[in-house]
Structure 1
Amino acid sequence: MVIVFVLVIPMVVALMGVLHWYVWRRLVRDTTAPGTLWRRMGTTVFVAGPAFMLTAFLGSWAGLPFGLVRVLSWPAYLWVAVALYLLLGVLAGEVLRPALTWLLRRRATRASATAQAPATEPVTVPDGTPASLPADPPAADTGVAAPAHLSRRMFAARLVGGAAAAVAVGTVGYGTYGVLRGPRVKRVTVPLAKLPRSAHGFRIAVVSDIHLGPVLGRGFAEKVVATVNSTQADLIAVVGDLVDGSVGELRSSVEPLSALRARHGAFFVTGNHEYISGAEQWTEHVQELGMKLLANQRVELPAFDLAGVNDVTGEDHDDGPDLAAALADRDPSRTSVLLAHQPVFVDEAVRHGVDLQLSGHTHGGQLWPMNYVAELANPTVAGLERYGDTQLYVSRGAGAWGPPTRVGAPSDVTVVELASLQA
């Protein structure tokens, strides 16, 4: 693991350095004159941003105090999002800038041709017929063509660069506001063939990927709890990635989760980030907060069986998922609902005849166009899909990992309403 870390980190840093240099060149060097205040300010931003990123990313690993990591994480992670959209804007500008420069050059050529067209003055020839003679010839070329050409190129670079910067900052600003205001409620109806009529309309509030940590803290947890409780669901399912940090660091941040309320209680399964943060401590602490842990276990509710499995990341910690154990000795005529953090577990759910799997993990891609990357690793990125006789619902999640920003993938708490075909 250490060898991989030592080899991969320098490669990632080198790649990030090249990308930052490229964006700096387009947005700062190509749009400002050497030695000017604007160039110095732009260069400072492109040095400070990556510096914050590296310090925050490596801070926890290096043992920096959590309070300091929290302070560094805000500018670091926001810069990650801004840098992504600056890069996309600059790439789009590679197409737009030459076309804009060509249009400016063409317009200037037409204006120059109009200005240099010989004017005429009326004269009278001996037979009395009016005629015209050319006016004074235009002044000799003074050599201003090249500077004018450079000015057009600079103007195009500034126009494209300014637009890219404005769009990037505006996009990140709006996407961050969308996260910090708290998740919105989404409602989905799932028909289940074996669900009895008595359970028709049973509502499960699915909460995933809250990611309380150095960026999203206690205040955000309170907003999530208020949103979940407002749904007045019959059952709450917290399907992993609750935290990014240890119990000692986040004890105060997660405390509001003890206020989650539902008729049949709140249930929890681990996500991959729990194993990064100390799964054993967290599985104990969530129970202290009043949630019921489903670690390869199930509970028999009046109308259906609710099962939960450990995240697949637990396999590296001798604590992996075991759906066979969770479903052992159950009545197969009853509806089964499975809580599993990652959508990829649906293949196992299909093999065991699970009726509905509830998952998170993907964030819906979180930052467009990362949803296309998420599609490569997950069968479903967001929403409800069917795999054989098993239905899979994937929530986009309530919080955000890394940048507290979402673009094209709004956060949600999903109320899954079960529908009986007998109703």
Structure 2
Amino acid sequence: MRFMWMMVFLLMPLLGIAYIGWHVWTLVPLSPWFRGGLIGFGLLSFFLLFLNLGRVIDHLPLGLARLSYDVGDSSVIVLLYLVLIFLVLDLGRLVRLIPAAWLHQNFYTTMAITLGMFVVFMAGNLKYHHKKRVELNLTTTKTLRKPLKLVMLSDLHLGYHNPRTELHRWVDMINAEHPDYVLIAGDIIDMSMRPLLEENMAEEFRRIKAPVYACLGNHEFYAGVPEAHQFYLAAGIHLLVDEAAVVDRSLVVVGRDDRTNLHRMPIDELVTNRDLYTIVLDHQPYNLERAEAAGVDFQLSGHTHRGQVWPISWITDRLYECSWGSHQRGATQYYVSSGIGIWGGKFRIGTQSEYVVATLRSVR
């Protein structure tokens, strides 16, 4: 079954490339050499994706590795949108709303598609760089020593495409909130430790003027969990792996190991003191009913990115009980973040990059 899904995963993009290549060949009113060059560049870009996933770029100079990452991983989203455009045009031609001449050696159609793609991806890139500040007001009947301000993040995906300069800006945004604590729900690392170590990104985390607690995400497993542990130690991050920490004498932060570890502890074994307000950091928002049954007060998750771009967001909205935003089951509140960073191409189309600023108060 796994082999079959792997074949489908490989076959679908190749069919998409063939479909786009045929349309480019018949549509673009330029020489065969130019059209062949466009198709060849598309194939090369998609091939770079496999170099990135295979970590071959770890052996390239840092600047070239970044270029390979950006081009290769962005090609998947470009491929998706070109397939959607040509499907709409073909459907319009079949129902006789679009003349067949529009899809054959047509300068105006070529320019319209080129301009439309440029506008969509430019807007998507600008939206990615604009980090949305989300406010949450959390209340509890449990006793707190004082109101607490929490900055919550997930899915930083630091690496070749999110370098230290980006992290520096994010740390400034965190410090501007003057939080009591910072909570990170996994995937701090993208896939490779190399850019984090070469740019000494741990030094940036040490600028955060509040204690930082985090759990692991699935991408830490890709990068290597022992290496991730060493990085978090150097960064001054309190990494919680199936363990709980009492902070401020009235708050418990529980960090779950990622779901990638099939032998991680059940959540009800980690929540041992229901008298204290309990926050769980669990990267992947599956089995939300288990947090409710364990008496968790609040759970922070990430992982979904809400699909990053439309229409993938429609898919994640149906795959998860909650793929983004606030949610509640019984007395347990949840927030699933779409992430401050991103995997792959730096585009947000129909979704947002965000960080959460939560105020936690006792009410009687």
Shorter-chain TM band: 0.7 to 0.9
Equivalent pair of 1:208/1:242 in contact (CA under 8 Å): yes
Q: State the 1:187 CA deviation.
A: 1.1
Partner in structure 1 of residue 17 of structure 2: 20
Partner in structure 1 of residue 117 of structure 2: 168
Partner in structure 2 of residue 133 of structure 1: none
Partner in structure 2 of residue 420 of structure 1: 362
Change (3 A) 1:172 1:335: same
Bigger shift: residues 41-50 or 288-297: 41-50
Equivalent pair of 1:81/1:172 in contact (CA under 8 Å): no
- TM-score normalised according to structure 1 size: 0.76
Alpha-carbon distance in structure 1 between the residues aligned to 2:111 and 2:97: 14
Equivalent pair of 1:77/1:404 in contact (CA under 8 Å): no
AA aligned opposite 1:277? A
Alpha-carbon distance in structure 2 between the residues aligned to 1:360 and 1:236: 15
Change (3 A) 1:324 1:190: same
Q: State the 1:64 CA deviation.
A: 4.0
Alpha-carbon distance in structure 1 between the residues aligned to 2:195 and 2:103: 52
Provide structure 1 residue ranges, at least 5 long, that are not aligned to the other structure: 103-149
Equivalent pair of 2:242/2:270 in contact (CA under 8 Å): yes
Partner in structure 2 of residue 306 of structure 1: 253
Identical-pair percentage: 22
Equivalent pair of 1:73/1:215 in contact (CA under 8 Å): yes
Partner in structure 2 of residue 113 of structure 1: none
Q: Which one of the candidate residues 107, 110, 132 is aligned to 1:184? A: 132
Q: State the 1:227 CA deviation.
A: 1.4
Partner in structure 2 of residue 96 of structure 1: 92
Partner in structure 2 of residue 112 of structure 1: none
Change (3 A) 1:13 1:385: closer
Please, what is the CA RMSD of the aligned residues? Answer: 2.7
Partner in structure 2 of residue 355 of structure 1: 297
Q: State the 1:212 CA deviation.
A: 0.8
Equivalent pair of 2:131/2:340 in contact (CA under 8 Å): yes
Partner in structure 2 of residue 74 of structure 1: 70
Q: State the 1:236 CA deviation.
A: 0.2
Partner in structure 1 of residue 152 of structure 2: 206
AA aligned opposite 2:205? L
Equivalent pair of 1:182/1:224 in contact (CA under 8 Å): no
Change (3 A) 1:303 1:88: same
Alpha-carbon distance in structure 2 between the residues aligned to 1:69 and 1:86: 26
Q: State the 1:290 CA deviation.
A: 1.1
Alpha-carbon distance in structure 2 between the residues aligned to 1:260 and 1:11: 44
Q: State the 1:405 CA deviation.
A: 1.6
- TM-score normalised according to structure 2 size: 0.88
- Classify the secondary structure of the residue corresponding to 1:225: helix
Number of matched pairs: 359
Equivalent pair of 2:143/2:362 in contact (CA under 8 Å): yes
Q: State the 1:308 CA deviation.
A: 1.7
Alignment of 1:192-341 (within 5 A): 192=140, 194-196=141-143, 198-200=145-147, 202-251=148-197, 252=199, 254-255=201-202, 256-262=204-210, 265-300=211-246, 301-315=248-262, 318=263, 320-328=264-272, 330=273, 332-341=274-283
Alpha-carbon distance in structure 2 between the residues aligned to 1:289 and 1:166: 43
Change (3 A) 1:312 1:321: farther
